[in-house]
Amino acid sequence: MAAQVPLVDYLVLDGDEPHLVAQECTKCGARFFDRRNACASCFADDFTTVQIPNEGTVRAFTIVAFAAPGIPVPFVAAVVDCGGTQVRANLINVEPDAEHVRDGMNVRLATLPIGADSEGTEAIGFGFEPVS
């Protein structure tokens, strides 16, 4: 199997199941993806790493019809509530139209290959797909 690397630092591929992690402020509980020097909510500077649930609910979405050259359209950009943490990601494995996507639909984290380098190392991204 080719080596795999996550496209973003907060996607964890090690272990039983891929998952997302966030930095949680130890003072107010606000959560952020990627590294933080200070909390944007309370300005504290102490964080702990927490795992984000793999399932969530679509809270908002848009069907993107125009994008940069080389980006296939249409696609669905969404905000998914994963146990109180808001995750911005594309919806995948679903038709990008209002008949198949709705606010309140249940989705789960899914990973997908984004590309590979000359040595065969795959970059892995994530999105959310409908729960059957």
* 90-130 tens-digit pLDDT: 999 999 999 999 999 999 999 999 999 999 999 999 999 99
The pTM of this model reads 0.92
DSSP 63: E
pLDDT of residue 56: 98
pLDDT of residue 1: 63
Strand residue runs (E) in the chain? 4-6, 11-12, 19-25, 31-32, 47-52, 55-64, 75-82, 85-91, 106-116, 122-130
Instruction: Provide the b/e sequence for 30-53 (b: ≥16 CB within 10 Å).
Output: bbbbeebeebeeeeeeebeeeebe
Q: What is the pLDDT of residues 69-78, one digit of tens each?
A: 999 999 999 9
The confidence band for 16, taking pLDDT boundaries of 50, 70 and 90, is confident
Cis peptide bond N-terminal to 74, omega within 30: yes
* Other Cβ atoms closer than 10 A to 23: 18
pLDDT of residue 99: 94
Q: Is 80 exceeded by the pLDDT of residue 24?
A: yes
DSSP 38: S
* Tokens encoding 132: 């059957």
R_g over Cα of the chain: 16
Q: What is the pLDDT of residues 29-54, one digit of tens each?
A: 999 998 889 999 999 999 999 999 99
